Structure 1
Amino acid sequence: MLLAGAAATGATAQTAAPPLRIVALGDSLVAGYGLPPGDSFPVRLEKALAANGRSGPRVEIVNAGVSGDTVTDGLARLDWAIGDDVDGVIVELGANDALRGIDPAVTRKALDAILKSLAARGLPVLLAGMQAPPNLGPEYKQAFDRIFPELAAAYDVLFFPFFLDGVAAERNLNQADGMHPNGKGVGVIVERILPKVEELVGRAAARRDAK
């Protein structure tokens, strides 16, 4: 009876544990532009994590995506978007920088500041890379594309090389504008990034346990 009671208490404590809060800081690709609410990246990712058979506390993916945001815009709202109750961060920014042809040096400076701020807070981070379209020319593309892997290495954060991997330029996976994924496209993104998110969740859980 004592053993059964202890097991029940442990199960109750685990059930009652607050969810791990992972904030997805991004642009329209996170916000869910043009999609029903249930098809946005944060919602689909949270469901995929729940269905993945992982033990431990539930994970809540917070949608901090703002359509049209550049990396500099993300930096400007970083302090209020990432509250004290956050356990980890997914950074998905850069698509609008490339679409507008913003100087890669400006993008790099802002992303460096974001990662520096999150590192100072000790928050685990998953950086989702972005790639410039080829029509901007090889010099711009090379300067832009290398920002993400270089800063990921510099700050020793988890890195997913290209957020739109397998979806970019695929007509059946994008909305009519050819730039924003449809529901099926979001499913592909979630499936491919999920292993890295699981790593992020592991780091977030370990950080919480160490407090």
Structure 2
Amino acid sequence: MYAKFWLPFLLAATPAAAQAQPTAAAAEQPHILAFGDSLTAGYGLGRGLGFAPQLQAALRRHGIPAVVHDAGVSGDTTSGGRARLKWTLDGLPRNPDLAIVELGANDMLRGVDPAVTEQNLDTILAELKRRGIPVLVAGMLAAPNLDPRYRRRFDAVFPALARKHDAALYPFFLQGVAGNRALNLPDGLHPNFEGIKRIVTGILPAVKRVLERQPAR
């Protein structure tokens, strides 16, 4: 059942959700870029129910008036993310105070060599570092039915790159959600509103820690 959870992320090809549009007054508020695939794009969910809007709402409940930009593209791989990173950043009103990088699940589903995944993510993190943008790496874990050697190589990519680039790490973006039907859409595979809520609750402390380390604007 757990292995089947990953299939839609390979097949999904829906447009990315619209980015949050900050007002002029929000220009000096913390800006966060959610850069990922269907998990950050809010696959199968209505407007305002995906990861970016839920994270923004959670931060504001905690007294952080952040603007979270949704840059999730369903079905995206690390190669796709690498190709679109620069124009995504250039389209923002300013450099974000944090980039959450959540990519890799589709590489794993397609059997991409983890060395290729690592190279793409390394390039993404290097570009963010070059621009002075702090990063939170949202890690992925390979499906447990895959070859153990592949799993070890794939799972090791995310913590290794976080260490290399001195980035924060959230080890598994789907912690507590993957394979849990109560936290997925009716197909039993994609995170529903409650599933995204669980993801946000899990990652929120790591997001706050990175933001708290940034100098006030």
Correspondence for 2:34: 24
Distance 1:62 1:180 in 2: 21
Select 2:185's aligned residue among 175, 178, 184. 175
User: TM-score, normalized by length of structure 2?
Assistant: 0.83
Choose 1 or 2 for highest CA Rg. Answer: 1
1:142-194 alpha-carbon deviations (Å, 9 max, x no partner): 10000000100111101100000000111111124443201110010000100
CA 1:177–1:136: 2 relative to 1, 3 Å: farther
The one-letter code sitting in structure 2 at the alignment partner of 1:192 is G
Select 2:59's aligned residue among 49, 52, 62. 49
Q: Does structure 1 conserve the Cα–Cα contact (< 8 Å) formed by 2:139 and 2:173?
A: yes
Q: 1:93, CA displacement in angstroms?
A: 0.5
Task: Classify the secondary structure of the residue corresponding to 1:126.
Answer: strand
Task: Classify the secondary structure of the residue corresponding to 2:28.
Answer: coil
- In the alignment, structure 2 segments of 5+ residues that lack a partner are 1-24
Map residues 106-125 of structure 1 onto 2, 5 A cutoff: 106-125=116-135
User: TM-score, normalized by length of structure 1?
Assistant: 0.85
Task: Classify the secondary structure of the residue corresponding to 2:106.
Answer: helix
CA 1:170–1:120: 2 relative to 1, 3 Å: same
Map residues 64-83 of structure 1 onto 2, 5 A cutoff: 64-83=71-90
Over the aligned positions, Cα root-mean-square deviation in angstroms equals: 1.6
The one-letter code sitting in structure 2 at the alignment partner of 1:51 is R
Is 80-89 or 70-79 further displaced after alignment?
Answer: 80-89
1:199 aligns with 2:209: yes
1:37 aligns with 2:44: no
Select 1:59's aligned residue among 53, 61, 66. 66
Q: Does structure 2 conserve the Cα–Cα contact (< 8 Å) formed by 1:23 and 1:86?
A: no
Q: Does structure 1 conserve the Cα–Cα contact (< 8 Å) formed by 2:26 and 2:67?
A: no
Q: Does structure 2 conserve the Cα–Cα contact (< 8 Å) formed by 1:23 and 1:61?
A: yes
Q: Does structure 2 conserve the Cα–Cα contact (< 8 Å) formed by 1:26 and 1:65?
A: yes
The percent identity for this pair of structures is: 51
The one-letter code sitting in structure 1 at the alignment partner of 2:104 is G
Structure 1 segments of 4+ aligned residues over 4 angstroms from their partners: none
Correspondence for 2:21: none
Distance 1:114 1:16 in 2: 26
The one-letter code sitting in structure 2 at the alignment partner of 1:38 is G
Task: Classify the secondary structure of the residue corresponding to 2:68.
Answer: strand
Distance 2:187 2:119 in 1: 30
